[in-house]
Structure formats: structure tokens, C-alpha cells
Structure 1
Amino acid sequence: MPATPSGSAKPSTMPLIAACVAAQVGAMLGSGTFAALLPDFIDIWSLSKTDAGWINGIYFVGYLGAVPFLVSLTDRVPPRRIYYLCATVTILAGMGFTLWADGFWTAMLFRLLGGIGVAGTYMPGLKLLSDHLEVRAPDYDHSRGVAFYVSGFGLGLSLSFFLSGVIADNWSWHWAFVVTALGPVFSITVLHFAVRGPDPRTAVAPSTHLLDFRPVLRCRNAMAFVMAYAVHNFELFAFRSWAVAYLVFAGGTGGGPVWGVSPATIIAGAILFGPLGSVLGNELSRRIGRRIAITFMMLTASAMALVIGFIADQSYTLVAGLAMIYCIAQVSDSASITAGAMAAAPQGYRGATMAVHSCIGFTGSFLGPVVFGLLLDLATPTGTIEAGVTAWGWAFAGIGLIAASGPVFLYVLRDKAQPIGI
């Protein structure tokens, strides 16, 4: 429960939280453009499913390569400097894709740069928010602020899917990348004007060098949430990278009308409601205990994964409806996991903990799309619809089973002195 000093009114932190969430939405605006237009690129560039999985996944290689350095650096330098620099990298990545991407290798290059940009905006932005919150309201539980910020990730991704689909349908994929590449310009502007004054200094300076993560790796409580985050991201980004292609396939099996809206719009709508699920999931964690709530949410999403692929040839209304529910269920535990890792961070190592959280967590983000594509290729021996349904079924079941290991990490790695639900 939040700590509440007697006789004091809670300081207003909502303008700060709102500004950071809005900036996060802008920073994520180009993150889903390639995935939203994946069926088009498969046709335009004659990509295999594995090729497409690599272009989706290389984004997270860029993220993983940069995040240990960039996020750990926030314990030592103002997070806003890192944020502004990497927001600029994100802009250049989107514009570069528009101007020069013409196949597998050039697409890989600019997706890699895009991942580096996100590495320097997502978690550094959260560090910026949490540092300012602790100065403005040091005696309060800030998990709601974390939940709202994490929701900005989903809101930005949802808007990315929606805008990309609409712009590409009416103009071209080039214009979709141009417009979404401008999102970080908005982010920089918002933070510059809304978050005034210098970023707070870390109260306890780290006693180790920049990339020494041993204090974090020795912290069992933090690592329990980090490993849960890895399998959470594996499932989440496997689905988001392939969701549009899945609905295109399902719509072509003869399962019924396709609602008159594009698959990209359907997935964008589902992702749009995801942040609400994340915020509500955090409220559930505050009431029944973080580990218990996360376990319930992760196993619920995994159960859906075991079903959704095998019903691709059923009613499109059923398929698309379950896909939307699954999309929301996947993200319901996101804020709770991240808040848990931050709460368990060793003193003076919050930035380093967030770096480990992101690095190991987004390893799952990279592997998810690639493994999903490999499973599709391996499980499709013929080109028949029946074989295709089976392939999608096994691909989804595979990621669901991996995600179900999250609760195991939460309980095996926890500090045994703690109550089981915390």
C-alpha cells in the first residue's frame, strides 16, 4: 500500500506523468510501422517468413546492443541528454528507411538503428520520470506512475499500427514511415517545455564501473521480475510482429467477412486498449500481491495462445475477437513486472537494474518474432489451408508455452524470506 504522511496532501504529479507518457507515445510512433505493413513487404521484396522474422527481430538486436550502456548511464548523467540524442537517432532511422530501404539488408540496417533509438528513450524516459517523482513526492508509492508510463509504450505502438495502415492504404508505405518518424520530434518538444529544471541527481552514487551489473545480478528479487519480463516480451512481440499477417491469413481461409476494416486497424484497436489492461493489472497487483497477480495474468494469456492459432479457419469474427482479447491479456502484467523490478533494485543501481531488465527482457523481444517465423516455416510442409492453420496453431502454442515459464521464474528466484505474494 502507498505510504501516506499524516496531515499532508499528496503533491500533484499528474502533469509530470502526463508529459512523460505523451513523450513516450511520440517516441514509439515509428515502432510498429514495419510490422503493420509486413504482408506488403513480404510481397514487394519476396521475403520468406524467416526473412520477415529477422527484419522484425533485428530491431531488438539494436535495442539489446545499446541498452546496457545507455540505461546504466542514467545513474551517472541526466537521463534527458540520453533521451534527446536517441530520439534523434529514431527520427533518422525512420527517414532512412523511407529513402533507402529496398530489400532485406537495407531494411535490417534501419530497423537496427530504430532499436538503438528506442533503447535510449523507453527506459531512460522511465528513469527520468521516477527520479522526478521521488523529488516531488518522496513518500508515495509511484507504481501507478510506472503503470501509466508503461501504457505509453502500448499507446504509441497502437497509434503506430493505425497510422501506418491508414497512410499506406491511402498513399504509400514511404509516407507511412515519413509521418511516423516525426513522432520523436513531438517527444523532445514536450519534455523540453513540460519538465522544467535539471534532472535530479542519484542520491547514492554507484560504487562500480558503468557496465558492472553484478550488484543487480546478485539481487534475486530483481532477477525474478527480469526473467518474467523476458518471456513476457517473447510472447508479446512475437504476436505483435505477426498479428497482422495472421489476420490476413485467417481472412483468406473462407471463415467469413472481414469486418470491412484492415487487419492493421484491428490490431491497432486491440493494442490501444492494452494500456488499460496494464493499468488495471497493476491495481490488481496492489490488492492481491504482485507475484500472485502476475501469475494469474501470464497463465491466462498463455492459455489463449494454445487456442488462437488452431481456429484460424473458423468465423473471422471469432478469430479477430479472440486476437484482440489475447492482445490485451498479454500486456496486462507489463506494468506490474516493471514496477516489481524497479522496487527490488539495489540502492544506487536503479538505472543499472533497468538496463538489465531491458537487456534480458528484450532478448525475448528479439527471439519471439524470429522463433515464430521459424515455427511457421517448419510447420508448413504444403501450401494447403489446412497445413497453414496447423502451422499457425503450433507457432502460437510454442510462444504460449514459453510465456508460461514466467511464473516459475517469479517463485524460484524470489528471496525466500519474502511472503510469496509480494
Structure 2
Amino acid sequence: MFRTPGPVLITVLMCLAQVATLVDVFVFATLIRTFETEWLLTKVEQGWVLGIYHAGYVLAVPVIMALTDRVDARRLYMAGCLFIAVAATGFAFLAEGFWSALLFRALSGFGFAATYMPGLRVLVDRYSGGNESRAIAFYTSSWSLGTAVSYLLAGVLGETLGWQAAFLAGGAGALVALVLVAVCLTPLAPTRAPEPTRLLDFRPVLRNRPAMGYVLGYAAHTYELLAFRAWLVAFLAFSLTQQAEPMVGWLAEPSRIAMFTAVAAMLSSIAGNELAQRLDRPRFIAVVQCVTASLACVIGFMGAMSYEAVVALVILYALLVQADSASLTAGVVGAAEDGRRGATLAVYNLLGWTCGFAGPVLVGAVLGAAGTESTAGWGLAFMTMGGVTFLGAAAVRILAGGRPAA
């Protein structure tokens, strides 16, 4: 196989590998009604199972990303793939209720921590072409393609073969990613910082104002995005129950709508980064986040509208919520000091995915507190998703606003 892939090939390779590692990511969210019925899960318990994946990611990512400044990220990536495969397979065969589901989803989150941003390090450390920002945008945007595949396969396999088959597919996808990276890439030692620090000494990163602007913006973005992705299928299913006439056809399959929104979001993320390169990056991100948060504050209250209108609003929201994703990651990579990319991405992901864990849990708590599902309850849930994003927009504008667009 290829041993020294060029810039296009390595970008495609890492995007495909990332899609393969994400097959299991939204299986539980897609089949949430199945688990609610079989395991009698409350909304609060559902929120915890949805969120614990991100909590597992948060616990592991600071150490793993700091290690990428010291060891080849490729080694960590392959270990993460193996971890995801074991966790997804364990869920398929051993999960039987709330507590076991928590355990295996947390373990899968550990694995994802060793693949998502370490995969970005694998890419940028080996990327030899021009316009690194564009390669980063394609990689981060492929997260949306991976979630689309997860929604689609979970819906199809869950309906035809059962939820266990959907999780087994997630384990198989991770093994495919492991083989791709192991066969196609050779080891590469990372660049060392001129003034090395202790492994988890993030003080130089915290003093980097432009980088911290992107970090805080990403935290708000991830809080909103992962809450939206976790609860999207449930929201669409609720909207279906509010229609006067039963829906038929592909519109009546919430998992397929979720899949379509994820594909659209991938294109939005790439286009957003292209615009950010030509405009003022911090200002672009701040405007996108303010518009997205404003829509979030009203969309939940519209769940009883015609289903076609709800789907259109959800697609618009998905396009907006992802438009700043690649721009944030390209911005923080560009703002990172030499030799501290791993540490900078560790802080970026630690704060971002801590908020990503909190989002689904808090939305579940809001829905649980509202009692019986209603447009008011979903309205408050979406306000919970979007309200924090205004703070992220302010952080990006104030802290990163003085840095030239990257």
C-alpha cells in the first residue's frame, strides 16, 4: 500500500477513517425510543446515556492530546480504534439496562478521544501541501459525514436486525479505520516544543489569548451541536405525534432526516471555512454563532407546526450550527504555538467536550422537568441548547478578534 501519501490522498484517507470510527456514535440516539420502551428509561436517564459518551471523551482527551506532542499520534489512533471496537461489541452483547449502557458508552467515548483529534494530528503532521486550513476543514467536516452514516445504519439495521446489529456495525467500522491507518501510514516522530513543559502543564496555552478565544467559542459550539445531535431524532418523533394526519414516506423516518441534516452540515462546515479564510475569521464565527443561537431559542416552540416546516427548520438549523465548526478548529490550530499543537488541542477538546457532555444531559433534565412531552418543554430544551452560544460568540470576538484571519 501507499507509504508516503500526498496531501490529497492523506486527507481522503483520514476522512474515511474518521467516518468509520463514528459508525457507533449515534446508534443510541437514533434508537432511543427502542431503549426507552425495552429498558423503561426516563428522559433523565436517556440524557445521561447520551452524555456519558462525551464525558468519557473529556476524561481521556487531555492526556491523550498532550501525548501527541511526545509520541506519534498514529499509535494512539490505532489504540483508540481498538477501544471503540471493544466497547461497541460489548454494548451489543452485554448491555441490558441503564448502568451497563453508561459503562459501554463511556468506554466508547474513551476510544473516540484517541481517534478524533489525534486523527487531526496524524493528518497535519504528515500534510505536505499548501492551504493546511482546507485539509483541516475537510477532516473536521467529515465528522458530520460520519454522524450521517451512523444515523442511517442505526436506523436501517435497528429496524431490520435489531439494535445489537447496529452496535456491532460500529465495532466493525472502528476496525476498518485501524487497518487503514496501520497499512497506509508509516510512523513519524512529532515536532518537539523549544521549551518543553510537563505533560499536563497547559499554562502556555491558557496565556495564548487568540487560541483561548477559539477554545471558548468551540466550547459553546460543541455544547449546542452535541445536544442538538443527541436529541434531534426524539424531537422529530415528537413532532410526528403532533400532526393531524399521519406522515408517510421518507419524511416519516426521523433517522433519515437526521442523516440528511448531517450531510448538509458537512458541506456547510467546509463552505464556512472557505468564507472564514476570505473574511475576518473571528467576526465570521461570532456572527454565525449569534444567528444560530437566535434560531435555537425559537425552533423548539414550533414542534407542532406542519411536519414539513419543522423539517425545513431543522435542516436550516443544522446548516447554521455546523457552519463555524471547521473555522474554529482551523483557527485554533493556526493560533497554536510551535511544538504545542497537542497541548492546545487538548485544552480545546477538554473544554469543548465537557460542554458537549453537559448539553445532552441538561436537555434531558429540562425535558424531564417539563413532564409530558410538549412544545413548551421542547422550546425550553432548545433554548438550553442555544443560549450558551451567545457567550461563545463574545469570547471569540474579544479574545481572537485582534488576530488576522488564518
Q: TM-score range by the shorter chain?
A: over 0.9
Q: How does 1:326-341 map to 2 (within 5 A)?
A: 326-341=317-332
Deviation (angstroms), 1:198:
2.4
Amino acid at match of 2:229: R
Corresponding residue to 1:99 among 84, 93, 100: 93
Q: Secondary structure at the match of 1:404?
A: helix
Contact 1:285 1:293 in 2 (8 A): yes
Q: What TM-score do you get using the length of structure 1 for normalisation?
A: 0.92
Amino acid at match of 1:413: L
Residue number in structure 1 paired with 2:283: 292
Q: 2 CA distance for matches of 1:206 and 1:185?
A: 37
Deviation (angstroms), 1:252:
0.5
Amino acid at match of 1:161: Y
Identity level (%):
38
Amino acid at match of 2:271: L
Residue number in structure 2 paired with 1:209: 198
Instruction: Flag the 1:172–1:144 CA change in 2: closer, same or farther, 3 A.
Output: same
Q: 2 CA distance for matches of 1:265 and 1:166?
A: 9
Q: How does 1:183-262 map to 2 (within 5 A)?
A: 183-195=173-185, 197-204=186-193, 207-261=196-250, 262=253
Residue number in structure 2 paired with 1:165: 155
Contact 2:282 2:401 in 1 (8 A): no
Amino acid at match of 1:322: L
Q: 2 CA distance for matches of 1:206 and 1:89?
A: 33
Q: What TM-score do you get using the length of structure 2 for normalisation?
A: 0.95
Corresponding residue to 2:55 among 47, 61, 67: 61
Q: 1 CA distance for matches of 2:291 and 2:80?
A: 36
Does the alignment pair 1:274 with 2:231?
A: no
Post-superposition CA distance 1:340-363 (Å, at most 9, x none):
111111221000101110110001
Amino acid at match of 2:173: G
Does the alignment pair 1:390 with 2:372?
A: no
Does the alignment pair 1:142 with 2:137?
A: no
Instruction: Flag the 1:275–1:251 CA change in 2: closer, same or farther, 3 A.
Output: same
Q: How does 1:372-383 map to 2 (within 5 A)?
A: 372-380=363-371, 383=372
Residue number in structure 2 paired with 1:366: 357
Contact 2:70 2:192 in 1 (8 A): no
Q: Secondary structure at the match of 2:388?
A: helix
**Structure 2 gap segments, 5+ residues each:** none
Q: How does 1:285-364 map to 2 (within 5 A)?
A: 285-364=276-355
Q: 2 CA distance for matches of 1:67 and 1:44?
A: 33
Instruction: Flag the 1:32–1:346 CA change in 2: closer, same or farther, 3 A.
Output: same
Corresponding residue to 1:400 among 355, 380, 386: 386
Q: 2 CA distance for matches of 1:201 and 1:61?
A: 27
Residue number in structure 2 paired with 1:4: none
Instruction: Flag the 1:379–1:78 CA change in 2: closer, same or farther, 3 A.
Output: same
Does the alignment pair 1:13 with 2:7?
A: yes
Does the alignment pair 1:26 with 2:20?
A: yes
Q: Secondary structure at the match of 1:87?
A: helix
Contact 1:255 1:316 in 2 (8 A): no
Q: Secondary structure at the match of 2:305?
A: coil
**Structure 1 gap segments, 5+ residues each:** 1-10
Alpha-carbon RMSD: 1.6
